[in-house]
Chain A
Amino acid sequence: MYTEKVMEHFRNPHNMGEIPNADGVGTVGNPVCGDMMTIYIKVKDGHIEDIKFKTFGCGAAVATSSMVTDLAKGKTLEEAMKITRGDVADELGGLPPIKMHCSNLAADALHVAIDDYYKKQEEMKK
């Protein structure tokens, strides 16, 4: 069903956890659907210095969360905004078609976290 790469990330997810006082937090999905994830980012000089995730969901949900943190870590915010769901799935060697829409939410959560960071910056300026 899943690629070896997906299983690898499911078995040993990278960057799992929370960041206290994160600069940006993004949550997408909801438990009713079966998948929900939260991405935390720490930003320094326009780069994602640290990133962590928390996920409720299936193997694909966990693996995409783990993969998106790998892809985004160290990138500029602009670069990170360009990471797509497709990129995440490709890096994992593909996902079962049925999982592409329901569980491949990690890129969205990342984008929401970055938006949240920008919003917080705006508020601090006020």
Chain B
Amino acid sequence: MDYTAGKPVDSRVAETMLPYMTAFDGNPSSVHSFGQEAKQVLEEARVKVAQLINAEKKESIIFTSGATESNNMAIKGFAYRNKDRGTRIISSNIEHMSVMNPAKYLLTRGFEVTFLPVDHEGLVNLESLERELTDETILASIMHANGEIGTIQPIKEISQIVHRKKAMFHVDATATAGQIPVDVQADGIDLLTISSNDMYGPKGMGALYLKQGVRVEPLIHGGGQEQGLRSGTENLPSIIGFGKAAELAKAEMQTENERLIKLRDGFINGLVGAVPYSYLNGHPTKRLPNNVAVRYSFIEGESMLLSLDMMGVAASSGSACTAKTLEPSHVLIATGLKHEEAHGSLLFTLGKQNTEEEVAYVIGLMPGIVKRLRAMSPLTPKELKE
């Protein structure tokens, strides 16, 4: 139940990729017929990704090596190309590191970056967005939803505020494209990051949507593939897999989400209802269908993960003890949690293969795990010990 960390490639996706990994070796840039066939399937995949997010045309889709590259291109590529119009950029405190760190890097290159605060449920403060937007602001980058707390931002509303000040709007849709509806035209999005693996496509693959007229500087120069914006011979098998994953996601999203939301809400109620001093992280309703993020007082996340692992359950935590940096998750801290509260966080992310039985199994395990760890903890108040 750790689908955010990595999803299996859908077998139907893998099937479409296989011939292009073994038998077929056309290069879309070649003139001969193998090359032309490669070009054709490449463009078919581009259409499928474009349709998933309702892009106005397929040329708006630039294939990249994944969400991290797309975010880098959207932040640094846009800033470099548009610095004559202004040097202010706005983002939020709960962005993924692949948005945060490029934005922080730009601070060393003469740009000003503001990271907006969020409320306890993880929603970006729209008043501070309005306040921070100036005539110098060229770009606002706000994620559609956060995979750690599940909160979905009101992106259409944000877009309207951003556009009133004539800035461009980038959305990191890693956690949403292919999971919940994303419509770049209806939502008013200028740049959008899409991840392939997050919709059961191959890893190391993603795309950046660029609305017509939005200019970015390429980060990778070379042979001029992807309209000169992302050079390098196209990763054809992965692009084809990505296209298939996008097609499947679009077709199956609604049914799958109805299933997941039922599973999710039962899971949350089963966890938070069973043990005192347990809480939901993130927003109760504006929430990703697969996201179950909770926290328990007086105990630490890694020891919960080890306990679950012993019972065959994979999950994740925002505790410092599970991080390379030894810092608790910046997302949890941004929602106002104290460090010791963030350490007690536990994240389950559901996917296609999770069932009601599995959820019931974990709901049944948690009270015992929490009880054992609380019995060990010097922080546990006396009334809980009996």
Chain A residues packing against B (C-beta within 8 Å): 2, 7, 10-11, 13, 16, 27, 31-38, 54-59, 61-62, 98, 102-103
B377 touches A54 (CB 8 A): yes
Contact between chains at B303 and A98 (CB < 8 Å)? no
Once the chains bind, are B299 and A34 in contact (CB under 8 Å)?
no
In whole angstroms, what is the CA distance A57 to B299 when docked?
7
Given A34-B321, A38-B378, A103-B321, residue A57 in contact with residue B300 (CB < 8 A): yes
11 contacts between A and B (CB under 8 A): A16-B375, A31-B379, A35-B300, A36-B379, A37-B378, A54-B376, A57-B302, A59-B303, A98-B326, A102-B320, A102-B326
For residue B328, which residues in chain A have a CB less than 8 angstroms away from its CB?
34
**Cα-based distance from A34 to B326 in the complex (angstroms):** 9
CA distance A103 to B303 in the complex (A): 12
Closest 7 CB pairs of A and B: A58-B321, A31-B340, A58-B302, A54-B378, A56-B377, A32-B339, A34-B320
Q: Which of B339, B378, B379 counts the most chain A CB atoms within 10 A?
A: B378
Q: Nearest A residue to B306 by beta-carbon distance?
A: A59
CB <8 Å contact, B378 and A11: no
Total A-B pairs in contact (CB under 8 Å)?
Answer: 72
Q: Which residues of B contact A54 (CB under 8 A)?
A: 376-378
Given known contacts A13-B376, A57-B300, A98 and B324 CB-to-CB distance under 8 angstroms: yes
- Interface status of B115 (Cβ within 8 A of chain A): no
Contacts A38-B378, A56-B377, A57-B321 hold; do A10 and B303 have CB atoms under 8 A apart? yes
B215 to chain A, nearest CB (A): 43
Complex Cα–Cα for A40 and B320 (A):
27
Residues on the B chain within 8 Å of A10, using CB: 303, 306
Interface residues on B, range: 20 to 34
B contact set with A: CB distance below 8 Å: 298-300, 302-303, 306, 310, 319-322, 324, 326, 328, 338-340, 343, 375-379
Known: A34-B319, A62-B303. A55 touches B340 (CB 8 A): no
Chain A min CB distance to B300 (Å): 5
Among B319, B321, B339, max chain A CB count under 10 A is at: B321
Contact of B378 among A2, A13, A36, A98 (CB under 8 A): A36
Contact of B300 (CB < 8 Å), options: A27, A38, A58: A58
Name the distance in Å between B11's Cβ and chain A's nearest Cβ: 30
* Given A56-B298, A56-B299, A16-B376 contact (CB < 8 Å): yes
Which B residue sits closest to A2, measured CB to CB? B306
- Considering the complex, give the chain B residue whose CB is closest to the CB of A56: B377
Cα-based distance from A33 to B40 in the complex (angstroms): 55
CB of B306 within 8 A of CB of A34, answer: no
Which of A11, A34, A57 has most chain B Cβ within 10 Å?
Answer: A34
A59: chain B residues within 8 A (beta carbon): 302-303, 306
Complex-state Cα separation, A56 to B315, whole angstroms: 20
Considering the complex, give the chain A residue whose CB is closest to the CB of B379.
A56
